[in-house]
Structure formats: C-alpha cells, structure tokens
Amino acid sequence: MISGPRRLDVQQAADDLRHRTLSDMPRSLDRLIYLASMRDYNTGLYYHDGLASRFSQEVACEALADCHREAFRHLVGCSVEDLVCQMEAYMDSTRTSPSDFVTAWRKLEPYRVAVPVESDPLSAQFLFSSFKIALAILESRLVLHPAGSAA
C-alpha cells in the first residue's frame, strides 16, 4: 500500500528547492508569492517541472507545500517594521510605480490567495491585518514623498 511520498524524499526535495531556487529570494514575502504562484488554484496542488523530474510529482508537490508553509510562518513572525521593508523591496523589484502598486494591493488584496491552504485561520487573519497596516504605512510615505519611491 503506497500511503504517499516518503518524508525523507520530501525533505531532500525541499532542500534542493531551497538551495537552487529559493536562495535567490532572501525575503520571505518573495518566497511566499513565488511559492503561491506554483500552486494550481483549481486543485491546490503545487507544480515544479525541474523538481518533479529530479524526484517525482508527488514529492515535488509536498516539498513546495513545505517551503510555502515555512515562508508563511516566517512572515507571520515578522515585525511590522520588517514587513514594511520587505514590501518596499518587493515593490521595487516589480518595477511598477509605487502608487500603482499600493493601489492595486489595497484593492485586490492579492496576499489573501498567497497563504498555504492548511494555514491556521488566526495566523492568516493576523498576516492579512499586518499587510493592511504595512500598505497604509507605505501609502502614507507616498503622500509625503509623491514623486520618489515610498522610502
């Protein structure tokens, strides 16, 4: 009876993912958004061709889910100051105008679909609330310095 991917394989795949891909993303916010983008919204399963070819689709899916949960936990533990810094850096990396970015994030709240499926509801609620606060801080900086960046 096959009960699912072996834990050891999943750990190896997660280490591989951290080493090859996630090491280029030092911020938890970038990791969270990247890993959420690897998930199929219809099935909740994660896909990564490179990882699946080295291990198996099932193992790759579990490894991606593990890393996603890890990024989520790390982000929940961040202070407001740290979250503001991460959002600012992420905003710069997208090369969109700060005001467009803040408006889109405030209206669409894309972070709501970026959390892992099994995340604890209160932790998710807390993170959404922190994002809302961080966006308000970034917006208030834009009002003070409308032409430049939000910094």
Partner 1 sequence: MIQLILFLFVGALLFSSIFFLSRRNPRTEGSSKVLVEARQALNSLQSGLLPPELVGRIFAREDFEYVANHTPKHVQEMFRKERKRIALAWVDQVRSEVVSLRRFHLGAARFYAKLKFKTEMTLAFDFAALLLTCRALRAFLYMRGPYAAPRMVQTTAAAAARLCDVSEKALAFLTPSPLSTFADRSAGTAQS
Residue 125 touching partner 1 (CB under 8 A) = yes
Which residue number, 15 or 81, has a Cβ lying nearer to partner 1? 81
Q: Which residues contact 110 (CB under 8 A, 6 or more apart)?
A: 33, 104
| Region of 36-44, 79-87, 89-97, 105-113 interacting with partner 1 (CB under 8 A) | 79-87
Residue 53 touching partner 1 (CB under 8 A) = no
Which residue number, 37 or 77, has a Cβ lying nearer to partner 1? 77
Which residue number, 26 or 77, has a Cβ lying nearer to partner 1? 77
- Please pick, from the candidates 104, 113, 133, 151, the single residue that binds partner 1 as defined by CB under 8 A: 133
* SS3 assignment for 28-58: HHHHHHHHHHCECCCCCCECCHHHHHHCCHH
